[in-house]
Each structure stands twice: as structure tokens, then as C-alpha cells.
């Protein structure tokens, strides 16, 4: 029997599905002994060590903006993940991995190689928005246009789809991490306080917004004064969030417009009646759908289960290749990759 896994190898989270079940949902992180390289943890345990390790331990996120930045570490992490879900049946496993829609040849190869090295037999790559549409059960095999915007941590993937394939797509390095970085910059500028990415992310999830909230919220947090170097407490509210996050939200809107401008007018006509679907963890930012609606004039809806639909789509696509018509969607073995 062959084991098939669908993998959403995200900048921040890796989700693996087998059939309809989510079999792994972990942060994309790894930690190891600095001198020996020995693995300490892969996944959420490693993520919790980020920025808090002694010199003898190194913890990193091996992906940056949706592609592998540290190959050996990504391979070890993937190996640990696949072992934990496969009960040593990896010699038979086929995997389908979601990748940013306009990924170039070198990062594609890195993902293929990391999967083979982690034990997979055959590997197929699929663009994130295509996987998201399949995960959402949208029929895009007909000549009717659909637009998907996946706001992840490292990339926002924007694509128009029709007749089982991509029509136009763009992947930009502006997503959830860019929102958190904008909060870090705002707090430094307005309060002279330096905070780390974890704190910025926590503030974003607690009170982040790009339109006014019905009730103004405030959080109190701590950082380091950039001049004195001493700990400092500060208070920040939702109105300040709107100011801090505006530019990043605009960058995403402009990229969506850019993709629509390059899409044939008939497909844009379909989109005008059906609207835009938002997926990815970044779509949970309060007001993001309304912000995009105001900018584009299109109806925008956040998908149910926005963080899982890409992984679910990859696992569904493995069993239903007929959904994928226009593109190079085939399982490739290591030999084939080496020969090309």
C-alpha cells in the first residue's frame, strides 16, 4: 500500500494531511546542539526556544518567505516531521508539497531534494493558491474565473484560476511577518522601545487591526528602551494599530490589483460577481477582508479554516489529479530530478 501525504511547508507553520485528516500541525522550526549539530527539537518545541537559547543551542526557522533558506536544517526538520507521521513507511510515501506560485527553479529543486532526503519516494509540487482552492472544494476546472489570496507569514500568494490551472499569479514577500515587523517599527519610533518578533506577533494577534474595531482595545507590554537599555513598559491601542499596519495592508492590496490588471477581462468579470477568497493565517487579521474590499471594490470573504485549507488541498489533489489540468503536475522520482 502506498502512503500519500499532502504538505503545506509554510514559513511559520507546517501542516501535513493524510486523506482528510491533519496528521501534523507544527511551527516550522528546528533546534540543535551548536557544536555537534545534534537535533534537539523540530516543530513547536523548537519555535518556543527562538530568541531564548544559550550559546550551546541554536534554534532557527529554516524557511524564509515561503522558500528554503537553510537547506540542511529544512531537510532535518522535514525528516523528523515525516518520520513522526509515517511510522517508518516512508520508503513508499508519495508527497505533494504546496509552494509559492511563482517560485523559481532553484528553490523548487531544494524542496524536491529535501523531500527525497527525508525519505519520500515520489514528489509533486503544487502552487499554494491552487491547493487552497482544492482544499476549499471550489470547482475551478470550468472556464469560470476564481481569485485566491493566501496571506501567510512570509508570502502573500495571489492567483486567478480557471479551467484547472493558474491564469495569473504573484507571490510577494509581504504577509503576517511584515505586519509584525511594522508593529516593531512603530513601537520603536513612537515609544523608543525595542521589542522582539514574538512580542510583536502577540500584540498583533491580541489587538491588531486595519480598520476600526467596534470597541477600542489596549494592551500593555514590555521591551527595552533603545537609549537607556533598561526594561520599559508601554501601552498601545487599536487606533495605533491601524496607523502601524496601514502601509503593509496597502502593499497587499496593490499586489492584488496588479494581478487583476493582468488577468483577462472576462475572468475579472466572473470575479466581480463571485468575489475574492482569503486564506492563510494572515487573513485572520481583524478587518483585512474589509480593507481589501474597500480598496478593490470587490466582495472579499475569509475561507472557513483558512490555516488548514492549503494542506487539505494538497492531500485531496494527490487522489484527484483530474482537478489539475493546466500545469506540470506529476510525481517525480529522484532519478528524474537528477537527470533534468
Ligand X SMILES: Nc1ncnc2c1ncn2[C@@H]1O[C@H](COP(=O)(O)OP(=O)(O)OP(=O)(O)O)[C@@H](O)[C@H]1O
Give me the residues that bind ligand X (CB under 6 A), please: 8, 10-13, 66, 152-155, 175-177, 201, 204-205, 208, 280-282, 284-285, 307
Bin 192: left if φ > 0, else alpha if -120 < ψ < 50, else beta. Answer: left
- Nearest approach, Cβ of 280 to Mg ion (angstroms)? 5
Phi, psi of 58 (to 5 degrees): -120, 130
Where on the chain is the footprint of Mg ion (CB under 5 A)? 10, 152
Q: Which is nearer to Mg ion, 208 or 281 (CB)?
A: 281
Specify the residue, 122 or 157, whose C-beta has the smaller distance to ligand X: 157
Matching residue, cell 469560470: 144
* Helix extents (H) in 118-236: 128-135, 176-191, 197-207
Sign, CA dihedral 161-166-167-173, equals: positive
Report the nearest approach of ligand X to the CB of residue 265 (Å).
29
SS3 40: strand
127, 171 contact by CB (below 8 A):
no
d(CA 322, CA 141): 9
Query: Which residues face 225 on adjacent strands?
Result: 193
Q: Which is nearer to Mg ion, 236 or 276 (CB)?
A: 276
**Binding partner selected for residue 201 from Mg ion, ligand X, none, CB under the kind-specific 5 to 8 Å limit:** ligand X
Q: Which cell numbers hold the place of 210?
A: 486595519
Q: Which does 282 bind (CB under 5 to 8 A by kind): ligand X, Mg ion, none?
A: ligand X
Q: Quick one: 10 or 208, whose CB is closer to Mg ion?
A: 10
Q: How far is the CB of 15 from ligand X (least distance, A)?
A: 8
Q: How far is the CB of 101 from ligand X (least distance, A)?
A: 11
User: Taking a C-beta distance cutoff of 8 angstroms, is the pair 92, 83 a contact?
Assistant: no
Q: Does residue 134 contact residue 323 with C-beta atoms inside 8 Å?
A: yes
CB of 183 vs Mg ion, minimal distance in Å: 20
Nearer to ligand X, 12 or 160 (CB): 12
Cell output for 305: 479554516
Smallest gap from Cβ 268 to Mg ion, in A, equals 25
Which of the choices Mg ion, ligand X, none does residue 307 contact, using the CB cut-off of 5 to 8 A by kind?
Answer: ligand X
Question: Are 12 and 27 in contact, with CB atoms under 8 Å apart?
Answer: yes
| Residue with smaller CB distance to ligand X, 116 or 179 | 179
Provide, rounded to whole angstroms, the least separation between the CB of residue 284 and ligand X.
4
User: Which does residue 208 bind out of Mg ion, ligand X, none, counting CB within 5 to 8 angstroms by kind?
Assistant: ligand X
Could you say which of ligand X, Mg ion, none residue 313 binds, taking C-beta under 5 to 8 angstroms by partner kind? none
Cβ proximity to ligand X, 267 vs 289, nearer residue: 289
Could you say which of Mg ion, ligand X, none residue 205 binds, taking C-beta under 5 to 8 angstroms by partner kind? ligand X
Burial class (CB in 10 A: 0-12, 13-18, 19+), 224: middle
Nearer to Mg ion, 10 or 145 (CB): 10
In the bound complex, which residue of the shown chain has the CB atom lying closest to Mg ion? 152
Min separation Cβ 100 and ligand X, Å: 7
Q: How far apart are CA 16 and CA 84, in angstroms?
A: 11
Q: Which does 184 bind (CB under 5 to 8 A by kind): Mg ion, ligand X, none?
A: none
Q: What are the distances in angstroms from CA 17 to CA 58, 85, 138, 257?
A: 29, 9, 19, 32
In contact, 283 and 303? CB cutoff 8 Å: yes
Amino acid at each position: 500500500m502506498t502512503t500519500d501525504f499532502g504538505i503545506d511547508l509554510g514559513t511559520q507553520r507546517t501542516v501535513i494531511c493524510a486523506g482528510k485528516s491533519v496528521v501534523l500541525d507544527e511551527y516550522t522550526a528546528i533546534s540543535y546542539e551548536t557544536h555537534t549539530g545534534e537535533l534537539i527539537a523540530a516543530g513547536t518545541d523548537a519555535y518556543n526556544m527562538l530568541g531564548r537559547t544559550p550559546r550551546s543551542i541554536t534554534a532557527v526557522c529554516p524557511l524564509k518567505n515561503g522558500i528554503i533558506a537553510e537547506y540542511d536544517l529544512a531537510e532535518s526538520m522535514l525528516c523528523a516531521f515525516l518520520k513522526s507521521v509515517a511510522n517508518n513507511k516512508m520508503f513508499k510515501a508519495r508527497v505533494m508539497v504546496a509552494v509559492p506560485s511563482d517560485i523559481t527553479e532553484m528553490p523548487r529543486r531544494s524542496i524536491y531534494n529535501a523531500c527525497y532526503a527525508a525519505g519520500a519516494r515520489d514528489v509533486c509540487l503544487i502552487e499554494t493558491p491552487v491547493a487552497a482552492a482544492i482544499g476549499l472544494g471550489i470547482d475551478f476546472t470550468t472556464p469560470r474565473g476564481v481569485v485566491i489570496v493566501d496571506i501567510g507569514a512570509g508570502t502573500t500568494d495571489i492567483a486567478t484560476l480557471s479551467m484547472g490551472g493558474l491564469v495569473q499569479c504573484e507571490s510577494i514577500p509581504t504577509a503576517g511577518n511584515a505586519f509584525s515587523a511594522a508593529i516593531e517599527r512603530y513601537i520603536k519610533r513612537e515609544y523608543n522601545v525595542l521589542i522582539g518578533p514574538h512580542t510583536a506577533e502577540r500584540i498583533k494577534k491580541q489587538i491588531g487591526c486595519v480598520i476600526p474595531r467596534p470597541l477600542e482595545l489596549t494592551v500593555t507590554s514590555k521591551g527595552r528602551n533603545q537609549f537607556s537599555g533598561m526594561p520599559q513598559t508601554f501601552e498601545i491601542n487599536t487606533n495605533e494599530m491601524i496607523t502601524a499596519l496601514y502601509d503593509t495592508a496597502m502593499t497587499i492590496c496593490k499586489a492584488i490589483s496588479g494581478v487583476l490588471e493582468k488577468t483577462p477581462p472576462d475572468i475579472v468579470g466572473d470575479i466581480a460577481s463571485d468575489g475574492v477568497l482569503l486564506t492563510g493565517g494572515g487573513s485572520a487579521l481583524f478587518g483585512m477582508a474589509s480593507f481589501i474590499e474597500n480598496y478593490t471594490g470587490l466582495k472579499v470573504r475569509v475561507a472557513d479554516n483558512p490555516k488548514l485549507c492549503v494542506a487539505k488541498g494538497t492531500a485531496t489533489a494527490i487522489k484527484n489529479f483530474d482537478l489539475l489540468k493546466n500545469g506540470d503536475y506529476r510525481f517525480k522520482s529522484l532519478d528524474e530530478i537528477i537527470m533534468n
